[in-house]
């Protein structure tokens, strides 16, 4: 069982930055592919970014490529999402995800609101 706790959301003006953090429980953190997803009101949850267990491979949705950076610190059991040049369309609840084969865990989400 893995528990994920997100933090770092908030209200920011367009063009600003935020850094989200996701702290994970458990001793096998580095085994998991970690990801960030988001869900805007009235829309389905969508993929934002993911990072391999070692941190050597990262993946991004086209909508955030070049603006967002995912990273992880396996010593701290934490994954981060640095979000720069934020746009109003980035407004959503952001969820942390941990995936290993058939195991799939989610955090409770953190709200990000970008004002124009």
37 contacts 93 by C-beta, under 8 angstroms: no
* Mean pLDDT in order along the chain per 10 residues (116 residues): 95 98 92 97 97 96 98 97 98 97 95 97
pLDDT value for 26? 81
DSSP string, 28-68: -GGGSEEEEEEE-TTS--EEEEEE-TTS--EEE-TTTTTTE
pLDDT value for 1? 84
Question: Cα dist. 30→24, 77, 97 in Å?
Answer: 10, 8, 13
The DSSP symbol for 18 reads E
pLDDT value for 57? 98
Give the span between the Cα atoms of 26 and 19, in whole angstroms: 23
């Amino acid at each position: 069982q893995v528990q994920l706790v997100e933090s770092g959301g908030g209200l920011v003006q367009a063009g600003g930055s935020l850094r989200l953090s996701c702290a994970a429980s458990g001793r096998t953190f580095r085994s998991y592919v970690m990801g960030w997803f988001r869900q805007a009101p009235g829309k389905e949850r969508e993929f934002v970014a993911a990072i391999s267990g070692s941190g050597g491979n990262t993946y991004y949705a086209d909508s955030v490529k070049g603006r967002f950076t995912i990273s992880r610190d396996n010593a701290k059991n934490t994954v981060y999402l640095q979000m720069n040049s934020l746009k109003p369309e980035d407004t959503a609840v952001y969820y942390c995800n941990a995936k290993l084969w058939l195991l799939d865990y989610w955090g409770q989400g953190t709200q990000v609101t970008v004002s124009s």
